[in-house]
Amino acid sequence: MTVSDGTRVVRAGLPEASQGEPLLPGPTFAAKYHLRGEPSSSPFTYGRYHNPTWTRFEHALGDLEGGPSVVFASGMAAVTAVMSVTLLDGRPGRELTMPSDCYYTTRRLAEEHFASLGVKVRMVPTDGSELSKHLEGSTLLWLESPSNPSLDVCDIAELARAAHDNRVLVAVDNTTATVLGQRPIELGADFSVSSDSKALTGHGDLVLGHAAARDPSWAERLRAFRTRQGAVPGPMEVWLAHRSIATLDVRLERQCRSALDIARFLTRRSEVLLVRYPGLDSDPAYPTASRQMKRFGPVVSFVLDGKSKAEKFLDACRLVTSATSFGGLQTTAERRARWGGDAIPEGFIRLSTGIEDVQDLLNDLSQALDKAA
């Protein structure tokens, strides 16, 4: 029976009904398991290899992603795993093409770690068609759409076709959109990667990540890499994540609707120099985003006139909390340039819309902009 996204996230990964048992069993805390005879006779052998709590959550993710999934201790651990299994295979001449405006830590990982191991790294802007011009000789095309924090969008399906024509693998960082906003594997990507600390789990109380693969053999390589490297998640975090994805549909429905209302409001304020949100029909990303995204995400980016005004605005907010990260229940914002590393103005603000009443948020933003003027 075909069911909607709202039903799928509630049911994903639940075990078969068993009389007297919980619908979602609690976390399994185990470093070792009873193990007689050959290890292959048992589904669980040692805590670094497997855990039934991981297995249930990975089944849930696989159902949502459309490909077998592997959970990691963080989003960056998942990024590292995908890049490692595709680029560090012992053959010379491995090349990585990636956006120059993707997540800063991902860029640093590529330029400082993988480049030092002999991988050639090309940086190309997400916006426009430049990525497709740099595929020849590449091993892996890394995409991030919408990009963090500028919210530029690329045509995943078109780039995946071009990459595969050149025998290039494609990985998409899908953190900003989430699997309910965009399905990279359905669009042709070989890997879908996410920091599950963000909107997927949505409560801002855990650090976690995952990678899904189109081909099960790549998922097995990712799982083997996790075992060798020890980048394993705690069972409590994974159980909390599984519990939390059940509300993903209802959270995103409100967050994305509010984000669009906020983006429209910001375009009408003279203090705001630029607004980026893929769901705005005036946004340059909208034509592509509307083709490949089911929802446009909870993040709105905008620019005020300089560092001082941006910080005055944030200090004046009462319902919008100053904090990094995004995708949580509470609306948060930060002057993103304070971290460095991104080619953005000093007054650039990344706002993550929560699930508060949107009129309350609009009232708060309005009074804070008034005070910052």
pLDDT at 129: 74
CATH class of 5-245: alpha beta
pLDDT at 266: 98
Q: Domain 249-372, what architecture?
A: Alpha-Beta Complex (3.90)
Reported in sequence order, the residue ranges of 190-242 that DSSP labels E, i.e. its strands, are 191-195, 209-213
Nearest Cα neighbor of 260 from 283, 242, 244, 240 is 283
The whole-angstrom separation of Cα 196 and Cα 202 is 8
With beta carbons less than 8 A apart as the criterion, state whether 195 and 185 touch: no
pLDDT at 241: 98
Which residues, 6+ apart, have CB-to-CB distance to 195 below 8 Å? 74, 75, 76, 78, 175, 208, 209
Give 302's strand partners: 275, 349
Structure-derived torsion over alpha carbons of residues 226, 160, 181, 284, reported in degrees to the nearest 10: 130
With beta carbons less than 8 A apart as the criterion, state whether 115 and 99 touch: no
pLDDT at 126: 84
Cα–chain center distance at 56: 20
The whole-angstrom separation of Cα 344 and Cα 122 is 20
pLDDT at 21: 94
SS3 content of the chain, % helix, strand, coil (to 5): 40, 15, 45
276: left (phi over 0), alpha (psi -120 to 50) or beta: beta
pLDDT at 91: 84
pLDDT at 90: 83
User: Can 5-245 and 249-372 be said to share one CATH topology?
Assistant: no
Sign of the Cα torsion 223, 175, 187, 246 reads positive
With beta carbons less than 8 A apart as the criterion, state whether 320 and 83 touch: no
**131 to 128, 134, 153, 287, 348: CA distances (angstroms):** 8, 6, 12, 18, 25
Give 170's strand partners: 141
With beta carbons less than 8 A apart as the criterion, state whether 326 and 332 touch: yes
Which residues, 6+ apart, have CB-to-CB distance to 306 below 8 Å? 345, 346, 347
Nearest Cα neighbor of 87 from 141, 123, 126, 147 is 141
pLDDT at 277: 98
The residue assigned the tokens 């005004």 is 309
Note down pLDDT in tens along the chain; length 373 residues.
Answer: 789 999 999 999 999 999 999 999 999 999 999 999 999 999 999 999 999 999 999 999 999 999 999 999 999 999 999 999 999 988 888 999 999 999 999 999 999 999 999 999 999 988 767 888 889 999 999 999 999 999 999 999 999 999 999 999 999 999 999 999 999 999 999 999 999 999 999 999 999 999 999 999 999 999 999 999 999 999 999 999 999 999 999 999 999 999 999 999 999 999 999 999 999 999 999 999 999 999 999 999 999 999 999 999 999 999 999 999 999 999 999 999 999 989 999 999 999 999 999 999 999 999 999 999 8
The whole-angstrom separation of Cα 133 and Cα 124 is 9
Enter the tokens of residue 117.
């191991």
pLDDT at 61: 98
Element (H, E) at 19: none
Task: Considering only CA atoms, give the Rg of the chain.
Answer: 21
pLDDT at 248: 98
Nearest Cα neighbor of 73 from 245, 233, 269 is 233
Element (H, E) at 25: none
Cα–chain center distance at 10: 20
pTM assigned to the model: 0.96
The whole-angstrom separation of Cα 108 and Cα 86 is 18
Domain boundaries, the chain: 5-245, 249-372
